[in-house]
Amino acid sequence: MSFPRVSVRVPCSTSNLGPGFDCLGLALQLYNTVTVTRSAEGRPPTGMIAATADAFFERAVGGKLKRFPFDVKIAGEIPVSRGLGSSVTVRLGVLLGLAELAREEFPLSREQVLNLLIELEGHPDNAVASFHGGLAVCAHVAADPDAGFSYTRVPVGAELSFVALIPELKLSTDLARGLLPKEVSLAHAVENAQRTARIAAAFCTNDYAGLRGLFLDHVHQPYRRKLIPGFDEILAAANDAGALGSFLSGAGSTLLAVTLDRVEEISVAMQEAAAKHQLPAQVRVLKADNAGVTLV
C-alpha cells in the first residue's frame, strides 16, 4: 500500500558573515533532502524531529488537526555540527513536509511555516536564508523580542564564490554560544554595526569588490577561535591568497572565504594552513543558492 509522500530540498547556509551576528545569513549550494511519508503507524520520532513535529501539531495547527503518523528520511551532503545550518534543513524539511501532507485538511501559508522555523531555531539568519535563498538581513521589529522579526532577502550573483574549509571537527552550537560575553565595548559594538551595514549595502548594490576587509568581528569570533586549531592562521592564509575576506561560518567549525577570482589559490592556502595545525578538513567551493527551499 502506498502513502502520500513529500520530498523537500533545503540548501545549507552560513550565518553571521563575521560581524553580522544573528542578523546575516546566506544560502549556499549544498543540500539536504528530507522525505516525509504519511504512514499507517510510523515509528515514533525522536530528538529534533520529534520536537519539530510537536511544534507543528501543537502550535502551527493549534490542535485543530488530528496528529497522523509519519516517517522521515534525510539524505544529502550537509555535515552536522559544522556551522552550515544542518539543523535548519532538518526542521524546515519536516515542517514543510508535514504542511504539504496536511494541506487539504489544514492549509498553512509558507510564512507561517517560516515563523515557526525561526521560533524553533531561536534566531532568523540561517532560517530565512535557507527558506528564501540568497542573503538574508534580519532584525527584531520592536524592543519586545516576542514581536518577531523582519527581513530583507537579496539575490547573490554567480560571480561570487565561497571557499569552505570544513574540518572533521564537530562543534556544539550550545558550547560555542556559551563562550560569548554578556557585554562588549561600545567601540567594538560600533565597529561591528558599521561593517554589518556595509556588508548588507554591498550585497544590495552588487558591489562585491567593496566587501574587502569588512568581515572582521569583535563579538563572537575572538571567543570561539580557541575551539578550532589554527583558526587565525587559516583565515589569514585565505586573505593573503586574495580573498575579499574570511570568517567563521555560524558557530563553526567551518571556515569560509569569499572571492571573485582566486578560488584555487585560496583553497590551497587554507588547506595547507589547516594541515600545519593537524586539522583534518576538506575544501568545498560553493556558489550562493538563490532558490531556497523547494519541493522535489
pLDDT in tens, 269-291: 999 999 999 999 999 999 999 99
Domains present along the chain, CATH in parentheses: 5-155+290-295 (3.30.230.10), 161-286 (3.30.70.890)
Query: How large is the average pLDDT for residues 143-155?
Result: 80
Kindly tell me if the per-residue pLDDT of 92 is higher than 60.
yes
What is the per-residue pLDDT for 223? 95
Lowest mean pLDDT among 76-85, 137-146, 239-248, 280-289: 137-146
Query: How large is the average pLDDT for residues 178-196?
Result: 94
CB contact set of 236 (below 8 Å; sequence gap of 6+): 273
Kindly tell me if the per-residue pLDDT of 1 is higher than 50.
no
Bridge-partner residues for 250, per DSSP?
none
Query: How large is the average pLDDT for residues 117-126?
Result: 91
Torsion of CA 171, 172, 178, 184, to 10 degrees: 50
Query: How large is the average pLDDT for residues 110-126?
Result: 91
pTM: 0.91
Q: How far apart are CA 10 and CA 32, in angstroms?
A: 5
Which residue would you say has higher pLDDT here, 246 or 181?
Answer: 246
